[in-house]
Amino acid sequence: MITSDVLIIGGGAIGLTTAYELIRRGHSVAVIDRQAVGCESSWAGAGMIPPGEIHLENSSYRKIAQLSSGLWAELAESLRAYSNIDIEYRTCGALVLPEDQKIATTQSEVELWQQQKIPVKRLNREDLNSFHPKFNSPAVEAYFLPTQAQVRNPRYVNALKVTCEQLGVQFYQHEQIREIKIQHGQVADILTDTETFNASQIVIATGAWTSQFADWFEVSIPVEPIRGQIVLVKLSEVFPSIIERGKCYLVPRADGRVLIGATEELVGFDRDCEAETVKRLLAFGAELIPEIGDLQVEKSWCGFRPVTPDHLPVIGFVPGYENLLVNSGHYRAGLSLSPASGLVMAQLICGETTELNLEDFDPERFHLEISSNEML
């Protein structure tokens, strides 16, 4: 039998940051995953780290977004010191275009950023003309977020894993759970094909698969998968900052490659990247950087974002259990919110005062069945 203070089920960015924060507090930690660590949504995303949040009108969400944004620089340095891996965390800024590029609609968004004391600059047509020689847009105005950052997803999750191993976290990959034993309101043993696990506290960090996994415990944690597709191309000369328009974006990497994303599709766990969707993403990219229209696709892939009915994450104790917690449902922001989500989960488990009020993220808020058609 493998015993630990905390057992984390799920080895994505959320599970790994939770493990990182717990092991630093002196807890013994084991992480199990049904496949290799970090190869689902944490690997598949674009790695954007916004300085805050304006689209969800929830003060708790805005606070966790700002908290997480402020943790990244120190975390990146710590991971590099332990793992010798550069996660390519850098502040690159973001040019944010209105969805209808011919209409000036940015003032209200600028004011929302200013209310949160996040630096923002309003740009006019002349500013846009000088953004980059390859940039093309009919927008009459936009705004720029100078503190927007980015990170290289695969390097980040790899650095987290290596760091956690250095600190003493035990990893058990390719472990398929076959049985869960429950006694008197507590999770007792978790059995896989090869091992039996026992821990004082168990954390569910299974992303888009959380709802399925919660069935083991006969509880409802309504998390649905939303597929997002991304295309990778390489430019002859890369532009300096992220470009966003609506829910689509261009993310320039240090090696000259550009990620073009992303879609939002309620298709379950269908992994097929559709050719028409790839064409639409390329067309979007070519509107803003015409050279993209002449490029070959290096790669395209998809990932599954875990979304809840209210688009807020689920962080806290699972109702009906004394030693079962969940850290999931971060939708499009799992990677960017992972530092803060791991921190507050560790604080909760350790009995510390959490950095922010977690009431709005409490799993107990889900007492009504909500159709998956309402997820988008």
What residues does each domain of the chain span? Answer: 2-85+153-223+309-374, 94-146+225-305
What mean pLDDT do residues 89-93 have?
98
Q: What are phi and psi of 343, to 5 degrees?
A: -65, -50
Is residue 360 a contact partner of residue 60, using CB atoms and an 8 Å limit? yes
Q: Distances from the Cα of 345 to the Cαs of 72, 192, 314, 315, in angstroms? A: 17, 25, 11, 7
Residue 302 pLDDT: 95
Is residue 323 a contact partner of residue 185, using CB atoms and an 8 Å limit? no
> Does residue 368 carry a pLDDT above 50?
no
Sign of the torsion angle spanned by Cα atoms 82, 83, 87, 88: positive
Residue tagged 């996994």 (tokens): 213
Residue 110 pLDDT: 86
Residue 369 pLDDT: 44
Supply angle C-alpha 140, 150, 238, rounded to 5: 60
For 4-59, what is each residue's pLDDT tens digit? 999 999 999 999 999 999 999 999 999 999 999 999 999 999 999 999 998 788 89
Fold of 94-146+225-305: D-Amino Acid Oxidase; Chain A, domain 2 (3.30.9)
Is residue 95 a contact partner of residue 149, using CB atoms and an 8 Å limit? no
The DSSP-derived string for 53-73 is: -SSS--HHHHHHHHHHHHHHH
Q: Is the pTM of this model over 0.85?
A: yes
What mean pLDDT do residues 235-240 have?
92
Residue 102 pLDDT: 54
> Does residue 97 carry a pLDDT above 90?
yes
Class for the domain spanning 2-85+153-223+309-374: alpha beta
Helix (H, G, I), strand (E, B) or coil at 226: strand
